[in-house]
Amino acid sequence: MEITKRTAASPIGEVTLYRLVNDKGASVELSSLGAGITEVSVPDANGNIENVTLRYADPASYLADGPCAGKTPGRYANRIANGKLQIDGITYDLPINNGPNHLHGGPEGFQNQIWESEEIENGVIFRYHSKDGEMGYPGNLDAEVKYTWNDDNELTISLSATSDAKTVVNLTNHAYFNLEGADGANPLSVLKHELKINAPYYLAGDEEGIPTGEMAPVAATPMDFTSFKTLEESPRKDFTPLKDRKGYDHCFCIDGPNGELREACVLRSPKTRRRVTVVTDQPGVQIYTGNWLAGSPANMAGRSYEDYEGVAMEAQGFPDAPSRAAFPSQTVAPDAPYRRTIVYRFDTF
- pLDDT per position as a tens digit, 20-51: 999 999 999 999 999 999 999 999 999 999 99
DSSP annotation of 213: E
Q: What is the percent of the chain where pLDDT is above 90?
A: 97
Range of the domain at 121: 2-348
Residue-level pLDDT at 273: 98
134-144 pLDDT, tens digit per residue, is 999 999 999 99
Instruction: Tell me the pLDDT band of 15, cut-offs 50, 70 and 90.
Output: very high
217-238 pLDDT, tens digit per residue, is 999 999 999 999 999 876 777 8
98-119 pLDDT, tens digit per residue, is 999 999 999 999 999 999 999 9
Number of domains in the chain: 1
Residue-level pLDDT at 233: 72
Cis peptide before 75 (omega within 30 of 0): yes
Nearest to 215 by CA among 249, 244, 250, 253: 253
Average pLDDT over residues 193-203: 98
Q: Which of 102, 104, 174, 250 is catalytic?
A: 174
Identify which has the larger pLDDT, 233 or 287: 287
158, burial (CB in 10 Å: exposed 0-12, middle 13-18, buried 19+): middle
* Whether 314 is catalytic: yes
Residue-level pLDDT at 237: 72
167-188 pLDDT, tens digit per residue, is 999 999 999 999 999 999 999 9
Residue-level pLDDT at 296: 98
302-313 pLDDT, tens digit per residue, is 999 999 999 999
Residue-level pLDDT at 238: 84
Q: Which of 134, 144, 194, 314 is catalytic?
A: 314
Residue burial 323-348, b: 16+ Cβ < 10 Å; e: rest:
bbeebeebebeeeeebebbbbbbbbb
Residue-level pLDDT at 288: 98
For residue 28, the number of C-alpha atoms closer than 13 Å in the C-beta half-sphere is 25
Q: Name the average pLDDT for the chain.
A: 97
* Whether 174 is catalytic: yes
Look at strands 331-332 and 167-168 and give their pairing. antiparallel
Q: What CATH number is given to the structural domain containing 132? A: 2.70.98.10
CA–CA distance from 177 to each of 8, 39, 316, 323 (Å)? Answer: 24, 10, 17, 31
Describe the chain by its helix, strand, coil percentages, rounded to 5.
5, 40, 50
